[in-house]
Structure 1
Amino acid sequence: MSEDLGTPVLDDHLHLDPDHGRGMAAVDDFARLGGTHLIVVNKPSWHLGPIPAEPADFRPVFETTVAAASEATERLRGRAWPVLGVHPGLVSRLVDDEGYDPDEARELMCAGIDVAAEFVADGRALGLKSGRPHYDVTEAVWEASNAVTRHAFERGAESGCAVQLHTEASEDLTDLADWAAEAGMDPSRVVKHYAEGRLVGPTPSVMSEKDRLVRAADSGEPFLMETDFVDDPEKPGMVMGPKTVPRRVRWLLEEGYDDAVHTAHVETPRAVYGVDTAATLTGAE
Protein backbone atom coordinates (compact mmCIF):
# COMPACT_ATOMS: atom_id res chain seq x y z
CA MET A 1 0.00 0.00 0.00
CA SER A 2 1.43 3.37 -1.03
CA GLU A 3 1.32 6.24 1.42
CA ASP A 4 -0.76 9.27 0.43
CA LEU A 5 0.82 12.52 1.65
CA GLY A 6 -2.14 14.56 0.43
CA THR A 7 -0.06 16.37 -2.18
CA PRO A 8 1.80 15.65 -5.39
CA VAL A 9 5.40 14.72 -4.61
CA LEU A 10 7.95 15.35 -7.37
CA ASP A 11 11.61 14.34 -7.42
CA ASP A 12 13.02 16.83 -9.92
CA HIS A 13 16.27 15.03 -10.77
CA LEU A 14 16.68 11.28 -10.56
CA HIS A 15 18.40 8.71 -12.78
CA LEU A 16 17.11 5.24 -13.64
CA ASP A 17 19.14 2.39 -15.07
CA PRO A 18 16.83 -0.62 -15.53
CA ASP A 19 19.58 -2.72 -17.11
CA HIS A 20 22.34 -2.25 -14.52
CA GLY A 21 20.80 -0.56 -11.47
CA ARG A 22 17.65 -0.87 -9.36
CA GLY A 23 15.45 0.59 -12.06
CA MET A 24 11.76 0.10 -11.30
CA ALA A 25 12.50 -1.15 -7.79
CA ALA A 26 13.70 2.39 -7.02
CA VAL A 27 10.49 3.79 -8.50
CA ASP A 28 8.47 1.44 -6.31
CA ASP A 29 10.34 2.64 -3.21
CA PHE A 30 9.60 6.23 -4.17
CA ALA A 31 5.92 5.50 -4.76
CA ARG A 32 5.49 3.42 -1.61
CA LEU A 33 6.56 6.37 0.55
CA GLY A 34 4.15 8.74 -1.21
CA GLY A 35 6.10 9.88 -4.25
CA THR A 36 3.91 10.61 -7.26
CA HIS A 37 5.97 12.28 -10.01
CA LEU A 38 9.52 12.01 -11.35
CA ILE A 39 11.80 13.94 -13.65
CA VAL A 40 14.01 11.16 -15.04
CA VAL A 41 17.28 12.60 -16.36
CA ASN A 42 19.49 10.52 -18.63
CA LYS A 43 22.65 9.22 -17.02
CA PRO A 44 25.93 10.48 -18.47
CA SER A 45 26.29 8.88 -21.88
CA TRP A 46 29.45 6.97 -20.97
CA HIS A 47 27.55 5.20 -18.15
CA LEU A 48 25.11 3.61 -20.58
CA GLY A 49 27.47 2.92 -23.47
CA PRO A 50 30.68 4.04 -25.15
CA ILE A 51 31.86 7.64 -25.17
CA PRO A 52 29.98 9.26 -28.06
CA ALA A 53 31.95 9.82 -31.24
CA GLU A 54 29.10 11.18 -33.38
CA PRO A 55 25.66 12.68 -32.74
CA ALA A 56 23.81 9.41 -33.35
CA ASP A 57 25.65 7.85 -30.41
CA PHE A 58 23.55 9.93 -28.01
CA ARG A 59 20.29 8.52 -29.30
CA PRO A 60 20.38 5.08 -27.56
CA VAL A 61 20.99 6.78 -24.20
CA PHE A 62 17.99 9.01 -24.74
CA GLU A 63 15.83 6.10 -25.91
CA THR A 64 16.74 4.17 -22.75
CA THR A 65 15.72 7.11 -20.57
CA VAL A 66 12.44 7.67 -22.40
CA ALA A 67 11.58 3.99 -22.01
CA ALA A 68 12.44 4.07 -18.30
CA ALA A 69 10.24 7.12 -17.74
CA SER A 70 7.37 5.42 -19.57
CA GLU A 71 7.71 2.29 -17.44
CA ALA A 72 7.94 4.39 -14.29
CA THR A 73 4.71 6.18 -15.21
CA GLU A 74 2.89 2.85 -15.09
CA ARG A 75 3.93 2.45 -11.44
CA LEU A 76 3.15 5.96 -10.19
CA ARG A 77 -0.06 7.65 -9.06
CA GLY A 78 1.12 10.56 -11.16
CA ARG A 79 3.68 10.17 -13.92
CA ALA A 80 7.33 10.48 -14.93
CA TRP A 81 8.84 12.75 -17.57
CA PRO A 82 12.25 12.42 -19.23
CA VAL A 83 14.71 15.31 -19.44
CA LEU A 84 17.48 14.68 -21.95
CA GLY A 85 20.82 16.21 -22.79
CA VAL A 86 24.58 16.12 -22.49
CA HIS A 87 26.36 15.94 -19.15
CA PRO A 88 29.00 18.69 -18.98
CA GLY A 89 31.58 16.19 -17.73
CA LEU A 90 31.66 14.72 -21.23
CA VAL A 91 33.95 17.55 -22.28
CA SER A 92 36.72 16.16 -20.07
CA ARG A 93 36.19 12.64 -21.36
CA LEU A 94 36.51 13.88 -24.91
CA VAL A 95 39.47 16.19 -24.35
CA ASP A 96 41.44 14.24 -21.76
CA ASP A 97 40.69 10.67 -22.82
CA GLU A 98 39.78 10.83 -26.51
CA GLY A 99 42.17 13.51 -27.75
CA TYR A 100 39.59 16.05 -28.93
CA ASP A 101 40.46 19.72 -28.83
CA PRO A 102 37.92 21.85 -26.93
CA ASP A 103 36.28 23.18 -30.08
CA GLU A 104 35.77 19.67 -31.45
CA ALA A 105 34.29 18.60 -28.11
CA ARG A 106 31.98 21.61 -28.18
CA GLU A 107 30.72 20.71 -31.64
CA LEU A 108 29.92 17.12 -30.67
CA MET A 109 28.23 18.14 -27.43
CA CYS A 110 26.13 20.77 -29.19
CA ALA A 111 25.12 18.11 -31.69
CA GLY A 112 24.04 15.91 -28.78
CA ILE A 113 21.86 18.76 -27.51
CA ASP A 114 20.33 18.97 -30.96
CA VAL A 115 19.43 15.28 -30.84
CA ALA A 116 17.83 15.76 -27.40
CA ALA A 117 15.86 18.72 -28.77
CA GLU A 118 14.39 16.39 -31.40
CA PHE A 119 12.88 14.32 -28.58
CA VAL A 120 11.39 17.47 -27.05
CA ALA A 121 9.97 18.54 -30.40
CA ASP A 122 8.38 15.09 -30.81
CA GLY A 123 6.79 15.32 -27.36
CA ARG A 124 8.91 12.45 -26.03
CA ALA A 125 10.88 14.57 -23.56
CA LEU A 126 9.93 17.42 -21.26
CA GLY A 127 13.14 19.43 -21.33
CA LEU A 128 16.88 19.59 -21.96
CA LYS A 129 19.92 19.29 -19.74
CA SER A 130 23.32 20.92 -20.13
CA GLY A 131 25.77 22.92 -18.04
CA ARG A 132 29.44 23.34 -17.31
CA PRO A 133 32.00 21.49 -15.17
CA HIS A 134 31.87 21.87 -11.39
CA TYR A 135 35.62 21.22 -11.21
CA ASP A 136 38.72 23.06 -12.42
CA VAL A 137 39.31 23.01 -16.17
CA THR A 138 41.41 24.96 -18.64
CA GLU A 139 40.14 28.28 -19.94
CA ALA A 140 39.58 26.74 -23.38
CA VAL A 141 37.45 23.93 -21.92
CA TRP A 142 35.52 26.43 -19.78
CA GLU A 143 34.76 28.56 -22.83
CA ALA A 144 33.71 25.49 -24.82
CA SER A 145 31.40 24.38 -21.98
CA ASN A 146 29.79 27.80 -21.75
CA ALA A 147 29.22 27.72 -25.51
CA VAL A 148 27.45 24.37 -25.15
CA THR A 149 25.26 25.82 -22.40
CA ARG A 150 24.37 28.82 -24.55
CA HIS A 151 23.47 26.42 -27.35
CA ALA A 152 21.15 24.54 -24.99
CA PHE A 153 19.42 27.82 -24.14
CA GLU A 154 18.93 28.50 -27.84
CA ARG A 155 17.39 25.07 -28.31
CA GLY A 156 15.29 25.55 -25.18
CA ALA A 157 13.97 28.84 -26.55
CA GLU A 158 13.16 27.23 -29.90
CA SER A 159 11.46 24.25 -28.25
CA GLY A 160 9.70 26.27 -25.57
CA CYS A 161 11.05 23.96 -22.87
CA ALA A 162 12.98 24.12 -19.62
CA VAL A 163 16.73 23.52 -19.39
CA GLN A 164 18.25 21.77 -16.38
CA LEU A 165 21.85 22.67 -15.60
CA HIS A 166 24.76 20.93 -13.93
CA THR A 167 27.14 23.69 -12.76
CA GLU A 168 29.65 24.66 -10.14
CA ALA A 169 28.31 25.19 -6.61
CA SER A 170 27.05 28.76 -6.34
CA GLU A 171 24.25 30.83 -4.92
CA ASP A 172 24.52 33.38 -7.74
CA LEU A 173 24.29 32.25 -11.35
CA THR A 174 23.07 35.53 -12.79
CA ASP A 175 25.38 35.10 -15.78
CA LEU A 176 23.56 31.95 -16.85
CA ALA A 177 20.15 33.52 -16.33
CA ASP A 178 21.25 36.48 -18.46
CA TRP A 179 22.48 34.18 -21.23
CA ALA A 180 19.15 32.37 -21.20
CA ALA A 181 17.31 35.66 -21.55
CA GLU A 182 19.58 36.67 -24.42
CA ALA A 183 18.70 33.40 -26.15
CA GLY A 184 14.98 34.09 -25.75
CA MET A 185 14.30 31.88 -22.72
CA ASP A 186 12.51 32.88 -19.55
CA PRO A 187 15.36 32.55 -16.99
CA SER A 188 12.93 31.06 -14.47
CA ARG A 189 12.71 28.02 -16.76
CA VAL A 190 16.42 27.40 -16.27
CA VAL A 191 16.85 24.94 -13.39
CA LYS A 192 20.03 24.65 -11.33
CA HIS A 193 20.35 20.98 -10.40
CA TYR A 194 21.97 20.15 -7.03
CA ALA A 195 21.20 23.61 -5.68
CA GLU A 196 21.65 25.10 -2.26
CA GLY A 197 18.65 26.51 -0.42
CA ARG A 198 18.78 29.87 -2.18
CA LEU A 199 19.87 30.99 -5.61
CA VAL A 200 19.97 34.17 -7.64
CA GLY A 201 19.26 33.64 -11.33
CA PRO A 202 17.87 30.21 -12.29
CA THR A 203 15.25 28.27 -10.36
CA PRO A 204 16.93 26.08 -7.72
CA SER A 205 16.35 22.34 -7.65
CA VAL A 206 17.30 21.86 -4.04
CA MET A 207 19.07 18.79 -2.75
CA SER A 208 16.74 17.30 -0.16
CA GLU A 209 18.81 17.91 2.95
CA LYS A 210 16.82 19.43 5.79
CA ASP A 211 18.94 22.56 6.20
CA ARG A 212 18.82 23.36 2.48
CA LEU A 213 15.08 22.79 2.36
CA VAL A 214 14.42 25.06 5.33
CA ARG A 215 16.40 27.84 3.65
CA ALA A 216 14.43 27.36 0.45
CA ALA A 217 11.11 27.23 2.28
CA ASP A 218 11.87 30.30 4.37
CA SER A 219 12.93 32.28 1.29
CA GLY A 220 9.41 32.26 -0.10
CA GLU A 221 10.88 31.88 -3.59
CA PRO A 222 10.10 29.17 -6.17
CA PHE A 223 12.09 25.95 -5.77
CA LEU A 224 12.03 22.26 -6.58
CA MET A 225 13.25 19.22 -4.63
CA GLU A 226 15.54 16.43 -5.83
CA THR A 227 17.76 13.53 -4.82
CA ASP A 228 20.12 13.07 -7.80
CA PHE A 229 19.75 9.33 -7.19
CA VAL A 230 22.30 7.82 -9.59
CA ASP A 231 21.02 4.21 -9.71
CA ASP A 232 24.49 2.68 -9.71
CA PRO A 233 24.69 -0.83 -8.18
CA GLU A 234 28.23 -0.11 -6.99
CA LYS A 235 27.05 3.03 -5.19
CA PRO A 236 23.65 2.19 -3.69
CA GLY A 237 21.73 5.21 -2.41
CA MET A 238 24.10 7.70 -4.03
CA VAL A 239 23.61 10.66 -4.01
CA MET A 240 20.37 10.32 -2.07
CA GLY A 241 18.04 7.36 -2.15
CA PRO A 242 14.67 7.40 -3.96
CA LYS A 243 12.73 7.45 -0.69
CA THR A 244 14.25 10.78 0.36
CA VAL A 245 11.92 13.31 -1.29
CA PRO A 246 8.70 11.73 0.04
CA ARG A 247 10.25 11.51 3.49
CA ARG A 248 11.32 15.16 3.37
CA VAL A 249 7.88 16.23 2.17
CA ARG A 250 6.31 14.46 5.13
CA TRP A 251 8.78 16.20 7.43
CA LEU A 252 8.13 19.62 5.88
CA LEU A 253 4.39 19.15 6.36
CA GLU A 254 4.93 18.13 9.98
CA GLU A 255 7.00 21.30 10.47
CA GLY A 256 4.20 23.47 9.08
CA TYR A 257 5.70 24.21 5.67
CA ASP A 258 2.53 23.41 3.74
CA ASP A 259 2.86 26.45 1.48
CA ALA A 260 6.46 25.58 0.63
CA VAL A 261 5.45 22.02 -0.27
CA HIS A 262 2.77 23.40 -2.58
CA THR A 263 5.35 25.73 -4.11
CA ALA A 264 7.89 22.97 -4.76
CA HIS A 265 5.53 20.28 -5.99
CA VAL A 266 2.67 22.12 -7.71
CA GLU A 267 3.40 25.78 -8.46
CA THR A 268 7.05 25.58 -9.53
CA PRO A 269 6.66 22.50 -11.76
CA ARG A 270 3.79 24.28 -13.50
CA ALA A 271 5.80 27.48 -13.99
CA VAL A 272 9.05 25.78 -15.05
CA TYR A 273 7.92 22.74 -17.03
CA GLY A 274 4.31 23.55 -17.85
CA VAL A 275 3.06 20.41 -16.10
CA ASP A 276 0.12 20.07 -13.73
CA THR A 277 1.12 17.63 -11.02
CA ALA A 278 -2.26 17.94 -9.27
CA ALA A 279 -4.25 17.19 -12.41
CA THR A 280 -2.09 14.24 -13.42
CA LEU A 281 -2.89 12.56 -10.11
CA THR A 282 -6.46 12.17 -11.34
CA GLY A 283 -5.48 10.98 -14.77
CA ALA A 284 -6.15 14.35 -16.41
CA GLU A 285 -3.54 15.82 -18.74
Structure 2
Amino acid sequence: MSEPDLDTPVLDDHLHLDPDAGRGLDAVRDFRRLGGTHLLVVNKPSWHLGVEVDEADDFRRVFDRTLEVVAEADDLLPGRAWPVLGVHPGLISRLVDEREMVPTDARDLMQAGLGVAAEYVRDGRALALKTGRPHYEVTDAVWDASNAVLRHGLSLGAEADCAVQLHTEESEDLTEIADWAAERGLPAHRVVKHYAGPTLAGPTPSVMCRKEWLESVAEGDEPFLMETDFVDDPDRPGAVMGPKTVPRRVRWLLEEGYDDAVRRAHVETPARVYGIDTEATLTA
Protein backbone atom coordinates (compact mmCIF):
# COMPACT_ATOMS: atom_id res chain seq x y z
CA MET A 1 0.00 0.00 0.00
CA SER A 2 1.41 3.41 -0.96
CA GLU A 3 2.07 6.11 1.60
CA PRO A 4 0.64 9.61 1.02
CA ASP A 5 2.45 11.43 -1.77
CA LEU A 6 5.33 13.69 -0.86
CA ASP A 7 4.92 17.15 -2.31
CA THR A 8 8.43 17.12 -3.76
CA PRO A 9 10.61 15.21 -6.20
CA VAL A 10 12.51 12.41 -4.44
CA LEU A 11 15.78 11.35 -6.07
CA ASP A 12 18.02 8.44 -5.09
CA ASP A 13 21.36 9.56 -6.50
CA HIS A 14 23.10 6.17 -6.59
CA LEU A 15 21.69 2.66 -6.63
CA HIS A 16 22.03 -0.51 -8.69
CA LEU A 17 19.38 -2.70 -10.30
CA ASP A 18 19.91 -6.31 -11.31
CA PRO A 19 16.96 -7.45 -13.44
CA ASP A 20 18.32 -10.97 -13.78
CA ALA A 21 19.58 -12.06 -10.36
CA GLY A 22 18.30 -9.35 -8.03
CA ARG A 23 15.00 -7.65 -7.21
CA GLY A 24 15.18 -5.43 -10.27
CA LEU A 25 11.90 -3.65 -10.98
CA ASP A 26 10.36 -4.81 -7.70
CA ALA A 27 12.87 -2.54 -5.98
CA VAL A 28 11.71 0.34 -8.19
CA ARG A 29 8.10 -0.39 -7.26
CA ASP A 30 9.02 -0.26 -3.56
CA PHE A 31 10.78 3.07 -4.12
CA ARG A 32 7.73 4.50 -5.86
CA ARG A 33 5.23 3.19 -3.30
CA LEU A 34 7.05 5.06 -0.56
CA GLY A 35 7.06 8.31 -2.57
CA GLY A 36 10.20 8.02 -4.71
CA THR A 37 10.10 9.75 -8.08
CA HIS A 38 13.57 9.81 -9.68
CA LEU A 39 16.53 7.42 -9.85
CA LEU A 40 20.13 7.52 -10.97
CA VAL A 41 20.94 3.90 -11.75
CA VAL A 42 24.61 2.96 -11.84
CA ASN A 43 25.71 -0.13 -13.74
CA LYS A 44 26.77 -2.98 -11.51
CA PRO A 45 30.43 -4.06 -11.61
CA SER A 46 30.99 -5.95 -14.85
CA TRP A 47 31.81 -9.27 -13.21
CA HIS A 48 28.61 -9.10 -11.14
CA LEU A 49 26.72 -9.28 -14.42
CA GLY A 50 28.81 -12.24 -15.59
CA VAL A 51 31.05 -10.23 -17.90
CA GLU A 52 34.80 -10.82 -17.74
CA VAL A 53 36.28 -8.02 -19.83
CA ASP A 54 39.16 -8.58 -22.22
CA GLU A 55 38.63 -5.54 -24.42
CA ALA A 56 36.77 -2.26 -24.30
CA ASP A 57 33.74 -3.46 -26.27
CA ASP A 58 33.06 -6.12 -23.62
CA PHE A 59 31.76 -3.31 -21.40
CA ARG A 60 28.94 -2.69 -23.88
CA ARG A 61 27.12 -5.79 -22.62
CA VAL A 62 27.11 -4.29 -19.12
CA PHE A 63 26.06 -0.84 -20.30
CA ASP A 64 23.35 -2.10 -22.66
CA ARG A 65 21.81 -4.32 -19.97
CA THR A 66 21.80 -1.32 -17.62
CA LEU A 67 20.07 0.85 -20.22
CA GLU A 68 17.39 -1.80 -20.64
CA VAL A 69 16.49 -1.92 -16.95
CA VAL A 70 16.67 1.88 -16.66
CA ALA A 71 14.15 2.21 -19.49
CA GLU A 72 11.81 -0.16 -17.67
CA ALA A 73 12.29 1.71 -14.39
CA ASP A 74 11.59 4.98 -16.18
CA ASP A 75 8.20 3.65 -17.25
CA LEU A 76 7.30 2.83 -13.64
CA LEU A 77 8.19 6.17 -12.08
CA PRO A 78 6.23 9.40 -11.92
CA GLY A 79 9.55 11.12 -12.63
CA ARG A 80 12.54 9.76 -14.50
CA ALA A 81 15.32 7.19 -14.24
CA TRP A 82 18.71 7.96 -15.74
CA PRO A 83 21.72 5.68 -16.28
CA VAL A 84 25.18 6.42 -14.90
CA LEU A 85 27.81 4.31 -16.65
CA GLY A 86 31.42 3.54 -15.90
CA VAL A 87 34.06 1.12 -14.70
CA HIS A 88 34.12 0.05 -11.07
CA PRO A 89 37.55 0.79 -9.56
CA GLY A 90 37.63 -2.62 -7.93
CA LEU A 91 38.04 -4.16 -11.37
CA ILE A 92 41.75 -3.40 -11.23
CA SER A 93 42.22 -5.85 -8.36
CA ARG A 94 40.28 -8.52 -10.21
CA LEU A 95 42.46 -8.02 -13.28
CA VAL A 96 45.77 -7.83 -11.41
CA ASP A 97 45.23 -10.30 -8.57
CA GLU A 98 43.05 -12.92 -10.25
CA ARG A 99 44.03 -12.65 -13.90
CA GLU A 100 47.68 -11.66 -13.33
CA MET A 101 47.50 -8.60 -15.56
CA VAL A 102 50.16 -5.95 -14.98
CA PRO A 103 48.71 -2.74 -13.50
CA THR A 104 49.49 -0.63 -16.55
CA ASP A 105 47.62 -3.02 -18.83
CA ALA A 106 44.69 -3.07 -16.39
CA ARG A 107 44.77 0.73 -16.42
CA ASP A 108 44.62 0.82 -20.21
CA LEU A 109 41.66 -1.58 -20.34
CA MET A 110 39.72 0.34 -17.71
CA GLN A 111 40.41 3.66 -19.41
CA ALA A 112 39.20 2.19 -22.68
CA GLY A 113 36.02 1.02 -20.91
CA LEU A 114 35.44 4.53 -19.65
CA GLY A 115 35.87 5.76 -23.20
CA VAL A 116 33.02 3.48 -24.25
CA ALA A 117 30.85 4.77 -21.40
CA ALA A 118 31.55 8.33 -22.54
CA GLU A 119 30.18 7.41 -25.99
CA TYR A 120 26.83 6.62 -24.35
CA VAL A 121 26.87 10.01 -22.60
CA ARG A 122 27.74 11.91 -25.76
CA ASP A 123 24.92 10.31 -27.74
CA GLY A 124 22.41 11.03 -24.96
CA ARG A 125 21.84 7.48 -23.75
CA ALA A 126 23.49 8.04 -20.35
CA LEU A 127 23.51 11.01 -17.99
CA ALA A 128 26.88 10.77 -16.26
CA LEU A 129 30.06 8.75 -15.81
CA LYS A 130 31.33 6.74 -12.85
CA THR A 131 34.99 6.13 -11.96
CA GLY A 132 37.20 6.18 -8.88
CA ARG A 133 39.94 4.34 -7.06
CA PRO A 134 40.05 1.46 -4.56
CA HIS A 135 38.78 2.15 -1.05
CA TYR A 136 41.10 -0.55 0.33
CA GLU A 137 44.86 -1.04 0.58
CA VAL A 138 46.63 -1.75 -2.71
CA THR A 139 50.20 -1.70 -3.97
CA ASP A 140 51.77 1.56 -5.11
CA ALA A 141 51.63 0.36 -8.72
CA VAL A 142 47.91 -0.38 -8.50
CA TRP A 143 47.27 2.94 -6.72
CA ASP A 144 49.12 4.88 -9.41
CA ALA A 145 47.27 3.02 -12.17
CA SER A 146 43.95 3.62 -10.42
CA ASN A 147 44.57 7.34 -10.12
CA ALA A 148 45.42 7.44 -13.81
CA VAL A 149 42.05 5.79 -14.54
CA LEU A 150 40.30 8.30 -12.29
CA ARG A 151 41.97 11.28 -13.96
CA HIS A 152 41.05 9.88 -17.37
CA GLY A 153 37.43 9.65 -16.26
CA LEU A 154 37.51 13.30 -15.21
CA SER A 155 38.93 14.25 -18.61
CA LEU A 156 36.16 12.32 -20.34
CA GLY A 157 33.57 14.05 -18.16
CA ALA A 158 34.94 17.43 -19.21
CA GLU A 159 34.90 16.41 -22.89
CA ALA A 160 31.35 15.03 -22.68
CA ASP A 161 30.17 17.94 -20.49
CA CYS A 162 28.75 15.62 -17.85
CA ALA A 163 29.02 14.93 -14.15
CA VAL A 164 31.31 12.20 -12.83
CA GLN A 165 30.42 10.05 -9.83
CA LEU A 166 33.34 8.83 -7.71
CA HIS A 167 33.82 5.58 -5.83
CA THR A 168 36.78 6.25 -3.52
CA GLU A 169 38.13 5.71 -0.06
CA GLU A 170 36.25 7.26 2.86
CA SER A 171 37.41 10.84 3.26
CA GLU A 172 36.31 14.29 4.34
CA ASP A 173 38.78 15.99 2.00
CA LEU A 174 38.98 15.16 -1.69
CA THR A 175 40.13 18.59 -2.85
CA GLU A 176 42.98 16.93 -4.75
CA ILE A 177 40.48 15.15 -7.00
CA ALA A 178 38.39 18.31 -7.34
CA ASP A 179 41.57 20.12 -8.43
CA TRP A 180 42.33 17.38 -10.97
CA ALA A 181 38.83 17.89 -12.37
CA ALA A 182 39.19 21.66 -12.58
CA GLU A 183 42.55 21.30 -14.33
CA ARG A 184 40.80 19.24 -16.99
CA GLY A 185 37.91 21.65 -17.43
CA LEU A 186 35.36 19.84 -15.28
CA PRO A 187 33.95 22.09 -12.53
CA ALA A 188 34.50 20.60 -9.08
CA HIS A 189 30.79 20.74 -8.23
CA ARG A 190 30.09 18.33 -11.11
CA VAL A 191 32.24 15.71 -9.39
CA VAL A 192 30.09 13.68 -6.97
CA LYS A 193 31.46 11.62 -4.08
CA HIS A 194 29.26 8.55 -3.88
CA TYR A 195 28.84 7.06 -0.38
CA ALA A 196 29.72 10.37 1.28
CA GLY A 197 29.36 11.49 4.83
CA PRO A 198 27.98 14.91 5.79
CA THR A 199 31.36 16.68 5.70
CA LEU A 200 33.32 16.81 2.46
CA ALA A 201 35.72 19.30 0.92
CA GLY A 202 36.04 19.30 -2.86
CA PRO A 203 33.33 17.34 -4.71
CA THR A 204 29.58 17.43 -4.14
CA PRO A 205 28.64 14.85 -1.48
CA SER A 206 26.08 12.15 -2.25
CA VAL A 207 25.23 11.47 1.37
CA MET A 208 24.31 8.03 2.63
CA CYS A 209 20.92 8.14 4.32
CA ARG A 210 21.90 7.76 7.95
CA LYS A 211 19.66 10.05 9.98
CA GLU A 212 22.54 11.66 11.89
CA TRP A 213 24.42 12.41 8.67
CA LEU A 214 21.35 13.87 6.98
CA GLU A 215 20.53 16.00 9.99
CA SER A 216 24.09 17.32 10.01
CA VAL A 217 24.14 18.26 6.33
CA ALA A 218 20.58 19.62 6.48
CA GLU A 219 21.64 22.07 9.19
CA GLY A 220 24.09 23.67 6.75
CA ASP A 221 23.54 25.35 3.42
CA GLU A 222 25.89 23.44 1.11
CA PRO A 223 24.70 21.45 -1.92
CA PHE A 224 24.21 17.72 -1.33
CA LEU A 225 22.45 14.68 -2.73
CA MET A 226 20.96 11.60 -1.06
CA GLU A 227 21.57 7.96 -1.89
CA THR A 228 21.19 4.38 -0.71
CA ASP A 229 23.82 2.54 -2.78
CA PHE A 230 21.27 -0.27 -2.97
CA VAL A 231 23.32 -3.14 -4.43
CA ASP A 232 20.47 -5.47 -5.53
CA ASP A 233 22.49 -8.59 -4.78
CA PRO A 234 20.55 -11.67 -3.60
CA ASP A 235 23.70 -12.95 -1.89
CA ARG A 236 23.88 -9.74 0.19
CA PRO A 237 20.22 -8.97 0.95
CA GLY A 238 20.99 -6.67 3.90
CA ALA A 239 23.92 -4.88 2.33
CA VAL A 240 23.99 -1.08 2.40
CA MET A 241 20.44 0.40 2.28
CA GLY A 242 17.17 -0.66 0.70
CA PRO A 243 15.27 1.20 -2.05
CA LYS A 244 12.63 2.52 0.37
CA THR A 245 15.20 4.47 2.39
CA VAL A 246 15.45 7.77 0.49
CA PRO A 247 11.69 8.46 0.41
CA ARG A 248 11.44 7.48 4.08
CA ARG A 249 14.28 9.85 4.98
CA VAL A 250 12.73 12.66 2.91
CA ARG A 251 9.47 12.21 4.81
CA TRP A 252 11.40 12.33 8.09
CA LEU A 253 13.35 15.46 7.06
CA LEU A 254 10.10 17.22 6.18
CA GLU A 255 8.56 16.21 9.52
CA GLU A 256 11.63 17.69 11.24
CA GLY A 257 11.19 20.98 9.39
CA TYR A 258 14.06 20.64 6.92
CA ASP A 259 12.02 21.67 3.88
CA ASP A 260 14.83 23.82 2.46
CA ALA A 261 17.32 20.97 2.74
CA VAL A 262 14.96 18.61 0.91
CA ARG A 263 14.61 21.10 -1.93
CA ARG A 264 18.38 21.53 -1.97
CA ALA A 265 19.00 17.78 -2.26
CA HIS A 266 16.23 16.86 -4.68
CA VAL A 267 15.74 19.92 -6.88
CA GLU A 268 18.58 22.44 -6.68
CA THR A 269 21.63 20.17 -6.46
CA PRO A 270 20.51 17.73 -9.19
CA ALA A 271 20.02 20.74 -11.49
CA ARG A 272 23.42 22.17 -10.56
CA VAL A 273 25.36 18.92 -10.89
CA TYR A 274 23.58 16.97 -13.63
CA GLY A 275 21.56 19.63 -15.42
CA ILE A 276 18.31 17.76 -14.75
CA ASP A 277 14.97 19.30 -13.76
CA THR A 278 13.31 17.00 -11.26
CA GLU A 279 10.22 19.21 -11.08
CA ALA A 280 9.58 19.53 -14.81
CA THR A 281 10.06 15.77 -15.25
CA LEU A 282 7.56 14.94 -12.51
CA THR A 283 4.07 14.01 -13.66
CA ALA A 284 0.99 13.56 -11.52
Question: Shorter chain as normaliser: what TM range?
Answer: over 0.9
Aligned to 1:202: 203
Return the offset for 1:173: 0.2
**What residue number does 1:271 align with?**
272
Runs of 4+ in 1 over 4 A off after TM superposition: none
Name the counterpart of 1:14: 15
Deviation at 1:237, TM superposition (A): 3.9
RMSD: 0.9
The equivalent of 1:226 in structure 2 is 227
Is the 1:229–1:237 contact (alpha carbons within 8 Å) kept by the matching residues of 2?
no
Instruction: State whether residues 231 and 237 of structure 1, in contact with CA within 8 Å, keep that contact through their aligned partners in structure 2.
Output: no
Q: Deviation at 1:238?
A: 2.0
Q: Does 1:114 align with 2:108?
A: no
- Structure 1: gaps of 5 or more residues: none
- Cα-to-partner distance string for 1:220-279 (whole Å, 9 max, x where unaligned): 100000000000112124210000000000000000000000000000000000000011
8 Å CA contact 2:89, 2:131 repeated in 1: yes
Tell me which amino acid in the other structure corresponds to 2:19: P
Distance (whole Å) between structure 1 residues aligned to residue 257 and residue 239 of structure 2: 29
Distance across 2 between alignment mates of 1:235 and 1:155: 33
Tell me the equivalent position of 2:42. Answer: 41
2:28 matched to which residue of 1?
A: 27
1:219 is displaced (CA, Å) by 2.2
2:262 is aligned to 261
Alignment of 1:1-285 (within 5 A): 2=2, 3-282=4-283
Q: Is the 8 A contact 1:120 1:127 kept in 2?
A: yes
Distance 2:40 2:194 in 1: 12
| Offset from partner CA, 1:183-210 (integer Å, 9 cap, x none) | 1101100000000011100000000000
Task: Please give the TM-score of this superposition, normalised by the length of structure 2.
Answer: 0.98
The code of the aligned residue for 2:103 comes to: P
For 2:271 and 2:281, the matched residues in 1 are separated by: 12
| 1:135 Cα offset (Å) | 0.2
Q: Is the 8 A contact 1:134 1:169 kept in 2?
A: yes
CA apart distance, 1:282: 3.1
TM-score calculated relative to the size of structure 1: 0.98
Shift of 1:141: 0.5
State how far apart, in whole Å, the 2-side matches of 1:34 and 1:261 are.
13
Contact 2:41 2:81 in 1 (8 A): yes
